Structure 1
């Protein structure tokens, strides 16, 4: 593993990686094929060869379903060699909320090495943009879900949990790590999400003068955390005033950890936090509560983009840093301009992480290209060959090339390929939907409202079918939403329709094959309940992302039980 303890050495590594993309990618593929050529999966295509051209000619581009039988055989006790030349040490569980189904992704120590290197590169980049970026502590909302075991005895857990609890991680901890967080490990490991979140925030408040960064995996988790704080700050202040933790916190590791941090009664701090929180508007609440905060760190791209306006409301002018791009299948890249605006985030791919290929999107051209041969401004679907047995695997992400750093391409995350909404012959992508909703929510601003979260589903039980959007709204002030403006929300429906693509508008206006778009306003807290439903089904809070399109009747019922009002578009969109 590359040692990044010195800044100059780290920058030299970064320059080397990004200046020799083709050579490094060729070496990565050669290493993988040499190791895996005689696995059961590859042998049927390569007959023991590790030749690159034969690989490209014979090995098909595959989806999870193609690899699933091999993965399940290893999970059930067969040798790793049926799919991977390196020992499989466990499995990553995907969240199952963005693509619809939870997957088991095989991993080995190489994944952990790459994850640590990406972390180091992220740390290095921040050090060049933010003075004293590692001073003080991070108020980090991290949730580590207990691992399960496959029939073979191999562990299966979510990425954050696996990485942070692995022997590799513990042995290779950065020197500053033990003291860098306001939350002791007991809180992160708490199996009860509500108790863990309460204790994360309480510790962050007690240590407010030491907090220099506020962090979570995703923007949605930070928004949820601040919403939770709005409901519990009075109780937390009572804990701080008395020096005693609330009785409902029963997890022993949380109780012991927080009791040590509380230290005893602190009425002065309790009064100060009450004075900050007890105001009509929580605009800029993050820098008010944590005045030394230099930046907020979380993923704000893809489906997290819709949380940016409300996060910016809480953050005022603090930078929103979206540090890196990774998945359960592989590490991909780093944001080399971490202080850029959320809409400008691009990730520079690191060529040593895996072997990357790209399928052109929307060009009528299915010729797959290497990382070194992608073209500026083009859209591609990402295909990865990793060190743990996935060969030419369609990750399902659509990316756009935005530039190059040395010879390394930089990509904007556009959408998940397989998340679409359709009721007739049109196909609305996640990107289309996010852009349309973003335009419509501009109408909310004069009323002091923000969109807290949303999802949708294709209503096709009646003809013509139509789009149903569930919106949870939030007021700028703490006095809630007193009244819904029907005219404004009907206009929101129309703006969403006007913003969708030409095919949708044609079927809606000229042919009448699509019915009027509907927005259903749900009670505040509804999307927290939806998240709790998915977590009860096995999802991880640390990786949870609100599904942008729901088809599960049980999940839809969570929303339907909380609908306050329904509004329909009252005019046809222009063709």
Structure 2
């Protein structure tokens, strides 16, 4: 496919949205036919379709799968076998998903034209925003973007996150220099592999252009709040740089240093004094509007697990800046856009663009939870799947995709609810990830991984004749960075040979962390976007009291299960009122693959 067909700007982009959504069924059928035409001779599809490229054969014979099923093919390609195992195009890189398999990140195959599709989605955002806010081309965007460390597969394919891939591509570096691509951050700062130096330089750039900034944001709310926390610690140094026109000596990255020295061309004591007066205020409530007075909104993902950060964002903006979630995407595929970006975060819906991939939907229960409690690896009857245009308003579904890069009927794991339609294309509200119980940043810990990790750690109690009676958890985001909290009720089955010391519980903390997946450990040890895990010891029979509380709220004693993640304020208050001691991980977990 010619990538230029996916390049649209301004009014042309809005017309393309209407064109695609008006005939979503035809676009979807054409997409699937094209995928089968290109990939029909691959080993994977030949195995199931015996050489056929017919749509009906695909729907009847190709199974619905999870990563476990496709992983052997991806592993073979990563080790040097030909891309034709799963796709008719050369795989150019492997994208590291935040999902995990055996403690390692999932590797998602990507072909060259995938970058064209991602760029297509990015190019829709500003034409949509311009319908709601005028004059955005009269200033700059302070978007805080970062790359992550990349590796290579055994055969030399780059292995990196989808955002790192995009920021390093010509699509980003050579993007059209129109007013909407005028960022405060120089590309050299965005592409700096040292996140602290990158953060410092991007904030410094944002402060230097504070009177020109009209848009604030980051990809995830966590990254934006982390930047505010960084600013709280570093504003004195940043003001000094601006006042003297000299860059702090801690910035040693050559790209960062050269780009920032160009910006710091001369001392600016007046600007430094303005910023100092604002940042030295005893309250940072509304500080974003004081530092960047022309800002119109904050752009970041605040749906799903990120919704927990909305109160903090509203505090720092003084409740004056709308929170905008512009798009819905993952490592596997970019899905769609928010056509009503000024809606409240709780009402955000995304319209799936039917030219991105072939979309199918696995129906879930009436409240979106029925099938979420079942085994993720269970076999799915192909007849259950629903096409894009045939989903029903109000119903819950799990998203299933087929892509040009070799994912066939792949379960994304996202639970969505249909909220409406734009022409033929359905609009979805993101509910959650299947089976995820804890998430702070890009980490996603499911119940199975949490249980396995705690099972390993609780063995440390056995020599002390101590028994872990019950446990639950929650993601504490009351401070930055957020961290996992485990509530443990421990019972002494008989007097232990020696008393339980604090260092033993600290060792339990780090043991849990060492057993959690690669993404969590990277967030903890390298990105520093997740704080040390905490274990809070509660009094005897605390979990009985928790059971009583939840049953009194309408639960059934016959069907009661201890919730492995606490979402109720009342339950959390009960647990915290019975805490007798608290312990934190004494060190960072190992994270290097």
Task: Tell me how far apart the structure 2 counterparts of residues 542 and 184 of structure 1 sit (CA, whole Å).
Answer: 23
1:299 to 288, 298, 301: 301
Q: CA 1:178/1:27 → structure 2, altered by over 3 Å: closer, same or farther?
A: closer
Instruction: Give the structure 2 partner of residue 404 of structure 1.
Output: 421
- Tell me whether 1:349 sits opposite 2:352 in the alignment: yes
2:248 to 246, 249, 254: 246
Q: Which moved more, 1:276-285 or 1:129-138?
A: 129-138
Q: CA 1:97/1:226 → structure 2, altered by over 3 Å: closer, same or farther?
A: farther
1:205 to 204, 207, 211: 207
- Alignment deviations for residues 286-313 of structure 1 (CA, whole Å, 9 cap, x no partner): 1110011111111111111111110111
Does the CA contact (< 8 Å) of 1:139 and 1:182 recur in 2? yes
Does the CA contact (< 8 Å) of 2:152 and 2:158 recur in 1? yes
Does the CA contact (< 8 Å) of 1:142 and 1:542 recur in 2? no
Task: Tell me how far apart the structure 1 counterparts of residues 163 and 518 of structure 2 sit (CA, whole Å).
Answer: 18
1:135 to 115, 133, 138: 138
- Tell me whether 1:144 sits opposite 2:130 in the alignment: no
Q: CA 1:103/1:166 → structure 2, altered by over 3 Å: closer, same or farther?
A: same
Does the CA contact (< 8 Å) of 2:142 and 2:216 recur in 1? yes
Instruction: Give the structure 2 partner of residue 230 of structure 1.
Output: 232
Q: CA 1:543/1:231 → structure 2, altered by over 3 Å: closer, same or farther?
A: closer
Task: Tell me how far apart the structure 2 counterparts of residues 416 and 405 of structure 1 sit (CA, whole Å).
Answer: 24
Task: Tell me how far apart the structure 2 counterparts of residues 377 and 458 of structure 1 sit (CA, whole Å).
Answer: 37
Name stretches of at least 5 consecutive residues in structure 2 with no aligned partner: 372-380, 439-443, 459-466, 481-486, 488-505, 556-593
Does the CA contact (< 8 Å) of 2:86 and 2:406 recur in 1? yes
Task: Tell me how far apart the structure 1 counterparts of residues 14 and 102 of structure 2 sit (CA, whole Å).
Answer: 36
Deviation at residue 169 of structure 1 after TM alignment: 4.5
Deviation at residue 175 of structure 1 after TM alignment: 3.0
Instruction: Give the structure 2 partner of residue 65 of structure 1.
Output: 68
Task: Tell me how far apart the structure 2 counterparts of residues 541 and 431 of structure 1 sit (CA, whole Å).
Answer: 16
Instruction: Give the structure 2 partner of residue 559 of structure 1.
Output: 533
Deviation at residue 459 of structure 1 after TM alignment: 5.9
Q: Which moved more, 1:147-156 or 1:270-279?
A: 147-156
- Tell me whether 1:123 sits opposite 2:126 in the alignment: yes
1:27-66 aligned within 5 A: 27-66=30-69
- Alignment deviations for residues 255-283 of structure 1 (CA, whole Å, 9 cap, x no partner): 22112212222111111111111122111
1:183 to 185, 188, 195: 185
Deviation at residue 457 of structure 1 after TM alignment: 10
Does the CA contact (< 8 Å) of 1:22 and 1:371 recur in 2? yes
Deviation at residue 40 of structure 1 after TM alignment: 0.3
Instruction: Give the structure 1 partner of residue 402 of structure 2.
Output: 385
Task: Tell me how far apart the structure 1 counterparts of residues 307 and 102 of structure 2 sit (CA, whole Å).
Answer: 17
- Alignment deviations for residues 71-115 of structure 1 (CA, whole Å, 9 cap, x no partner): 111111111111101221111112348996411111112311110
- Tell me whether 1:160 sits opposite 2:163 in the alignment: yes
Deviation at residue 16 of structure 1 after TM alignment: 0.8
Deviation at residue 472 of structure 1 after TM alignment: 4.9
- Tell me whether 1:221 sits opposite 2:223 in the alignment: yes
Deviation at residue 559 of structure 1 after TM alignment: 2.0
Q: Which moved more, 1:248-257 or 1:334-343?
A: 248-257
Does the CA contact (< 8 Å) of 1:39 and 1:85 recur in 2? yes
1:365-514 aligned within 5 A: 367-420=384-437, 461=458, 462-469=467-474, 471-474=476-479
Three-state SS of the structure 1 residue aligned to 2:138 is: coil
Q: CA 1:542/1:401 → structure 2, altered by over 3 Å: closer, same or farther?
A: farther
Q: CA 1:16/1:257 → structure 2, altered by over 3 Å: closer, same or farther?
A: same
Q: CA 1:431/1:92 → structure 2, altered by over 3 Å: closer, same or farther?
A: closer
Does the CA contact (< 8 Å) of 1:96 and 1:103 recur in 2? yes
Three-state SS of the structure 2 residue aligned to 1:464 is: strand
Deviation at residue 120 of structure 1 after TM alignment: 1.1
Task: Tell me how far apart the structure 2 counterparts of residues 33 and 229 of structure 1 sit (CA, whole Å).
Answer: 51
Does the CA contact (< 8 Å) of 2:352 and 2:426 recur in 1? yes
Does the CA contact (< 8 Å) of 2:364 and 2:398 recur in 1? yes
Instruction: Give the structure 2 partner of residue 114 of structure 1.
Output: 117
- Tell me whether 1:93 sits opposite 2:87 in the alignment: no
Q: CA 1:50/1:535 → structure 2, altered by over 3 Å: closer, same or farther?
A: closer
Task: Tell me how far apart the structure 1 counterparts of residues 95 and 445 of structure 2 sit (CA, whole Å).
Answer: 27
Task: Tell me how far apart the structure 2 counterparts of residues 82 and 535 of structure 1 sit (CA, whole Å).
Answer: 27
Deviation at residue 174 of structure 1 after TM alignment: 2.3
Three-state SS of the structure 2 residue aligned to 1:77 is: coil
- Tell me whether 1:327 sits opposite 2:330 in the alignment: yes
- Tell me whether 1:259 sits opposite 2:269 in the alignment: no
Task: Tell me how far apart the structure 2 counterparts of residues 157 and 458 of structure 1 sit (CA, whole Å).
Answer: 26
TM-score by length of structure 2 reads 0.75
Q: Which moved more, 1:120-129 or 1:42-51?
A: 120-129
- Tell me whether 1:340 sits opposite 2:340 in the alignment: no
- Tell me whether 1:79 sits opposite 2:82 in the alignment: yes
Does the CA contact (< 8 Å) of 1:40 and 1:83 recur in 2? yes
Does the CA contact (< 8 Å) of 2:103 and 2:518 recur in 1? no
1:508-523 aligned within 5 A: none
Task: Tell me how far apart the structure 2 counterparts of residues 302 and 33 of structure 1 sit (CA, whole Å).
Answer: 33
Three-state SS of the structure 2 residue aligned to 1:2 is: helix
Three-state SS of the structure 2 residue aligned to 1:89 is: strand
- Tell me whether 1:104 sits opposite 2:121 in the alignment: no
1:274-289 aligned within 5 A: 274-289=276-291
- Alignment deviations for residues 170-202 of structure 1 (CA, whole Å, 9 cap, x no partner): 45x223279611111111111111111111111
Does the CA contact (< 8 Å) of 1:237 and 1:274 recur in 2? yes
Three-state SS of the structure 2 residue aligned to 1:297 is: strand
Does the CA contact (< 8 Å) of 1:95 and 1:540 recur in 2? no
Cα root mean square deviation, aligned: 3.3
Task: Tell me how far apart the structure 1 counterparts of residues 46 and 166 of structure 2 sit (CA, whole Å).
Answer: 31
Q: CA 1:417/1:544 → structure 2, altered by over 3 Å: closer, same or farther?
A: farther
Instruction: Give the structure 2 partner of residue 270 of structure 1.
Output: 272
Deviation at residue 351 of structure 1 after TM alignment: 0.5
Does the CA contact (< 8 Å) of 1:95 and 1:544 recur in 2? no
Aligned length: 481
Does the CA contact (< 8 Å) of 1:415 and 1:431 recur in 2? no
Instruction: Give the structure 2 partner of residue 18 of structure 1.
Output: 21
Deviation at residue 145 of structure 1 after TM alignment: 2.9
